[in-house]
């Protein structure tokens, strides 16, 4: 299986479409924002024209206020790939959400369901005594605590939730998970100045295409700024503008700045994929040809692990 990833605005969609056209493939999105309906401009979702050229999966699958997590993505991705393979097509994973990619490469544990009451109680404990949950995690599961940032409250609560409900360490349960299959990861990148120029240009086009109107429409539909979906870069800055916290020009510059920072974080994440093939699109005109050849080679000898694809 092939995963094409890279920072935002690097050109993943354009390149992946050309690859799929050359090898009769279909795209499985690995993007945690393009899953949301009604959020088209700010998520740089593939246009309908692009989706007509090559079929895209896992795009527009939930509403902005519906809960969707990385475990659900993994399940949906596996089922989607099975259907694509049954039709004699070649699936290509394309996107930049690191957690989604990790769920395929490494697997994910989700054997303990969310407990909203317990989470609320843990949050209240943290509110009354800041830092207490971190200390609890270091006591219950020091191995996992050492792997996450000390201020990562979200993962701290999840780990404690699992420990308290299962009686087992989160780090131990994670070791029981398995990858969804065998993967070749291809990381697309560009020279930094070119990438940043592309980001700035994309933001300008988003504004011209009606990003502010899109956000206003979502708010009128009842989707509040507190939703996880609405905390997406682009949407949160537009909301600040609508609330008159920043002016129009500052909104645009802030979106550009935050997007550049996000791209940098993505690249740092992707560096962990030590066996990945890195292609600098700025220096390589044969990117589509190279990826297409790799896809066809991998497709001929593809094997899947038990319990995966």
Residues above pLDDT 70, as percent of the chain: 96
CA 220, CA 229: separation in Å to the nearest integer?
15
**What domains sit in the chain, N to C, each tagged with a CATH number?**
2-108+178-300 (3.40.50.300), 116-174 (1.10.20.140)
pLDDT at 162 over 80: yes
Residue 305: the pLDDT is 38
Residue 301: the pLDDT is 59
pLDDT at 308 over 70: no
User: 199 is written with which tokens?
Assistant: 């980001």
Mean pLDDT along residues 4-28:
97
Mean pLDDT along residues 268-277:
95
Of 71-75, 103-107, 157-161, 299-303, give the lowest mean pLDDT range: 299-303
For 169-222, how does the pLDDT look when each residue is reduced to its tens digit (9 = 90+)? 988 887 777 777 889 999 999 999 999 999 999 999 999 999 999 999 999 999
pLDDT at 34 over 90: yes
CA 48, CA 95: separation in Å to the nearest integer?
17
For 219-250, how does the pLDDT look when each residue is reduced to its tens digit (9 = 90+)? 999 999 999 999 999 999 999 999 999 999 99
Q: Cβ-count burial of 234 within 10 angstroms (0-12 exposed, 13-18 middle, 19+ buried)?
A: buried
Of 140-154, 229-243, 247-261, give the lowest mean pLDDT range: 140-154
Confidence of residue 306 (pLDDT cuts 50, 70, 90): very low
Chain centre distance of CA 208: 25
User: Residue holding tokens 């790799």?
Assistant: 294
Confidence of residue 300 (pLDDT cuts 50, 70, 90): low
Residue 108: the pLDDT is 80
Residue 131: the pLDDT is 95
Residue 303: the pLDDT is 41
Residue 302: the pLDDT is 55
Residue 285: the pLDDT is 83
Of 3-7, 104-108, 139-143, 251-255, give the lowest mean pLDDT range: 104-108
Confidence of residue 288 (pLDDT cuts 50, 70, 90): very high
pLDDT at 304 over 50: no
Residue 107: the pLDDT is 86
Mean pLDDT along residues 138-147:
93
Residue 235's nearest CA partner among 243, 225, 246 is 225
What lies within 8 Å, CB to CB, of 232 at 6+ separation is: 33, 39, 42, 43
Q: Cβ-count burial of 198 within 10 angstroms (0-12 exposed, 13-18 middle, 19+ buried)?
A: middle
């Amino acid at each position: 299986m092939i995963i094409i990833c890279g920072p935002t605005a690097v050109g993943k969609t354009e390149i992946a479409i050309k690859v799929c056209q050359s090898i009769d493939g279909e795209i499985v999105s690995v993007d945690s924002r393009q899953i949301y309906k009604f959020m088209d401009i700010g998520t740089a979702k593939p246009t309908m024209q692009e989706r007509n050229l090559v079929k895209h999966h896992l795009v527009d699958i939930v509403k902005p206020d519906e809960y969707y997590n990385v475990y659900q993505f993994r399940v949906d991705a596996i089922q989607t790939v099975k259907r694509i393979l049954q039709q004699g097509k070649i699936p290509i994973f394309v996107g930049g959400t690191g957690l989604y990619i990790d769920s395929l490469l490494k697997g994910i544990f989700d054997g303990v369901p969310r407990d909203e009451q317990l989470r609320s109680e843990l949050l209240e404990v943290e509110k009354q005594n800041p830092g207490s949950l971190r200390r609890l995690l270091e006591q219950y599961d020091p191995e996992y605590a050492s792997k996450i940032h000390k201020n990562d409250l979200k993962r701290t609560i999840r780990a404690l939730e699992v420990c308290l409900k299962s009686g087992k360490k989160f780090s131990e349960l994670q070791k029981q998970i398995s990858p969804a299959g065998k993967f070749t990861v291809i990381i697309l990148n560009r020279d930094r100045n070119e990438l940043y120029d592309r980001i700035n240009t994309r933001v300008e086009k988003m504004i011209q295409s009606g990003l502010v109107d899109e956000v206003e429409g979502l708010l009128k539909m009842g989707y509040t700024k507190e939703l996880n979906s609405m905390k997406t870069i682009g949407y949160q800055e537009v909301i600040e503008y609508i609330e008159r916290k920043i002016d129009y020009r500052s909104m645009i510059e802030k979106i550009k700045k935050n997007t550049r920072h996000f791209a940098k974080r993505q690249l740092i994440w992707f560096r962990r994929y030590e066996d990945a093939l890195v292609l600098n699109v700025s220096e390589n005109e044969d990117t589509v040809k190279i990826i297409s050849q790799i896809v066809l080679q991998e497709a001929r000898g593809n094997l899947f692990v038990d319990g995966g694809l």
